C-alpha cells in the first residue's frame, strides 16, 4: 500500500514541536497577552456601560406611568416622568441623570453628557428607546426628526453627533481585534520564516528533498504542522483570555450580550475568522518564502507581506464604505452580508482572507517554479 507522505511528514514533524516547550510558550505569549488585554478592555468597558442613569420626559398630555408600564421592562436604567426640555437640561447639567430622552410634539430629543464614559451606552439605549416611543406614539416620522433636530440641541455643549459616535465597546473591541490579528500574523510569519527556509539554511531540508516523496507533499506536511502550532498557540491564548475575563469579572462577563447573541458565541466567531485569516496568510508566506535560501531574505519577504496585509486590513477602517463598494463582499452570501453590514471590523479580515486565498492558490502554482529557479 502506498504511504501517505503528507500524513507521515505531519506525524514526524509534530514530534519535533512537542519537544520545544520554550518555543510553544513563546508562541502562546503573544496571543495570550493580547487577549488578556482585550478581556480587560471588554470587562472594563462593560462595567462602565452598564452603569448609567437615564430619564425620559413626556409632555403633560402623555401618561408617563402608562409608558413606564410598557417600557421599563426593556429599559431598566431609565426612569419615566413628566417634564420639558428645561427640566431635562437642568437634571443633566447637575449630574442627576446621565442621559435624558425628551418627548416633544414633533420630535424626540436626546441629551446626554458626552464627557462621561457611560454616555455611549446610554445614548445607544436612548436611541432605541426613542424609536420604541415613536412607534408607540404617533408614527415613524416622529422619530426620524430626531436626527434633524438633535445636532442643534447642544445646549449643554456636551452632546456629540449620534452619527459620529459609535458604540464604545465596538470601537475598543475592533481595534484590539485588529491588534490581535496583526500580532498573530506577525507571530505566524516569524514561525514560517524560520521553519522551511531556516531548515534550508541549516541544510537539513535537502535530506528530505532527496527522498522519493514529492516536494509538494513535504511542504504541505510541514506547513500544516506549522499552522497547527499557530492554531494551538492562538487558541490556547484566546481560551485563556476568555477564561480570564470570566474569572476577572464574572458578572459583567455573563451580562455581555449584544445583537449578535451571547458574547461567547460572538468571540468564537471572531476567533474562527482571525484564525482562518492568519492561517491562510501563514500558509501563503510559508510556501512562497520557502523558495528563499536565506532566513534573512524570507524574513524580509514576510515583513513586506506583513505591510501589505496590514495596509489591506487597516485601509477599510478608514474608508469602510468605499472599500465595501470596491470589494462587494456583501453580495457573497447572506452570512457574509450580515457580518459585513453589522460590523466593519469584519470587512478587512474578509478582504485579507480573500486576498490570502487568492495568493495561496497562486503560490501553490508558483512554488514548483520558484523551487526550480532556486536550483538554477
Catalog residues that contact other proteins under the rule CB under 8 A.
2-3, 5, 8-9, 11-12, 15-16, 19-20, 199, 202-204, 206-214, 218, 372, 375-376
Query: CB of residue 221 vs other proteins: minimum separation in angstroms?
Result: 10
Do residues 215 and 368 lie in contact, with contact meaning Cβ atoms separated by under 8 Å?
Answer: yes
Find the radius of gyration of the CA atoms of the chain: 27
Query: CB of residue 160 vs other proteins: minimum separation in angstroms?
Result: 57
Residues 6+ apart with CB under 8 A from 208: 218
Smaller CB separation from other proteins, 141 or 376: 376
**CA–CA distances in Å: residue 29 to residues 25, 188, 233, 270, 336:** 6, 13, 8, 19, 31
Smaller CB separation from other proteins, 136 or 369: 369
Query: CB of residue 197 vs other proteins: minimum separation in angstroms?
Result: 14
Query: CB of residue 235 vs other proteins: minimum separation in angstroms?
Result: 23
Residue 156: strand, helix, or coil:
coil
**257-258 vs 261-262, strand pairing mode:** antiparallel
Smaller CB separation from other proteins, 133 or 191: 191
Smaller CB separation from other proteins, 6 or 306: 6
Query: CB of residue 27 vs other proteins: minimum separation in angstroms?
Result: 16
Strand partners, 112: 99
Smaller CB separation from other proteins, 192 or 278: 192
Query: CB of residue 336 vs other proteins: minimum separation in angstroms?
Result: 41
Smaller CB separation from other proteins, 199 or 320: 199
Query: CB of residue 196 vs other proteins: minimum separation in angstroms?
Result: 12
Q: 274: closest CA among 284, 286, 266? A: 266
Long-range contacts of 69-78 (CB under 8 A, 24+ apart): 70/136, 71/129, 71/132, 71/133, 71/136, 74/132, 75/125, 75/128, 75/129, 77/52, 77/53, 77/122, 77/125, 78/54, 78/125, 78/129
Do residues 111 and 89 lie in contact, with contact meaning Cβ atoms separated by under 8 Å?
Answer: yes
Q: 184: closest CA among 44, 323, 301, 280? A: 280
Smaller CB separation from other proteins, 23 or 79: 23
Strands (E), 261-346: 261-262
Query: CB of residue 362 vs other proteins: minimum separation in angstroms?
Result: 23
Smaller CB separation from other proteins, 20 or 115: 20
Amino acid at each position: 500500500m502506498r504511504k501517505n507522505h503528507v500524513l507521515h511528514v505531519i506525524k514526524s514533524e509534530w514530534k519535533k514541536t512537542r519537544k520545544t516547550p520554550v518555543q510553544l510558550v513563546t508562541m502562546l505569549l503573544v496571543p495570550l497577552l493580547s487577549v488578556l488585554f482585550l478581556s480587560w478592555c471588554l470587562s472594563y468597558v462593560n462595567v462602565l456601560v452598564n452603569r448609567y442613569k437615564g430619564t425620559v420626559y413626556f409632555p403633560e398630555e402623555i401618561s408617563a406611568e402608562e409608558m413606564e408600564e410598557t417600557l421599563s421592562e426593556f429599559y431598566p436604567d431609565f426612569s419615566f416622568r413628566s417634564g420639558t426640555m428645561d427640566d431635562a437640561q437642568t437634571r443633566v447639567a447637575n449630574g442627576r441623570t446621565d442621559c435624558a430622552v425628551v418627548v416633544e410634539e414633533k420630535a424626540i430629543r436626546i441629551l446626554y453628557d458626552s464627557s462621561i464614559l457611560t454616555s455611549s451606552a446610554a445614548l445607544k439605549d436612548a436611541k432605541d428607546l426613542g424609536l420604541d416611543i415613536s412607534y408607540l406614539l404617533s408614527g415613524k416620522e416622529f422619530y426620524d426628526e430626531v436626527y434633524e433636530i438633535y445636532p442643534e440641541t447642544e445646549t449643554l455643549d456636551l452632546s456629540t453627533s449620534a452619527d459620529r459616535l459609535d458604540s464604545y465597546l465596538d470601537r475598543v473591541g475592533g481595534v484590539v481585534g485588529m491588534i490581535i490579528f496583526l500580532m498573530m500574523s506577525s507571530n505566524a510569519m516569524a514561525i514560517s520564516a524560520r521553519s522551511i527556509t531556516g531548515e534550508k539554511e541549516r541544510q537539513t531540508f535537502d535530506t528530505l528533498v532527496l527522498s522519493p516523496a514529492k516536494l509538494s507533499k513535504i511542504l504541505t506536511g510541514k506547513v500544516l504542522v506549522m499552522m497547527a502550532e499557530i492554531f494551538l498557540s492562538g487558541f490556547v491564548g484566546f481560551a485563556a483570555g476568555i477564561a480570564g475575563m470570566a474569572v476577572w469579572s464574572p458578572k459583567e462577563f455573563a451580562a455581555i450580550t449584544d445583537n449578535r447573541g451571547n458574547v461567547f458565541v460572538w468571540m468564537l466567531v471572531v476567533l474562527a475568522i482571525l484564525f482562518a485569516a492568519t492561517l491562510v496568510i501563514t500558509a501563503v508566506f510559508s510556501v512562497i518564502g520557502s523558495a528563499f535560501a536565506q532566513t534573512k531574505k524570507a524574513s524580509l519577504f514576510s515583513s513586506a507581506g506583513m505591510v501589505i496585509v496590514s495596509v489591506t486590513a487597516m485601509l477599510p477602517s478608514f474608508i469602510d464604505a468605499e472599500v465595501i463598494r470596491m470589494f462587494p463582499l456583501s453580495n457573497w452570501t447572506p452570512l457574509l452580508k450580515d457580518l459585513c453590514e453589522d460590523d466593519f471590523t469584519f470587512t478587512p479580515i474578509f478582504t485579507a482572507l480573500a486576498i490570502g486565498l487568492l495568493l495561496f492558490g497562486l503560490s501553490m502554482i508558483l512554488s514548483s517554479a520558484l523551487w526550480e529557479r532556486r536550483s538554477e
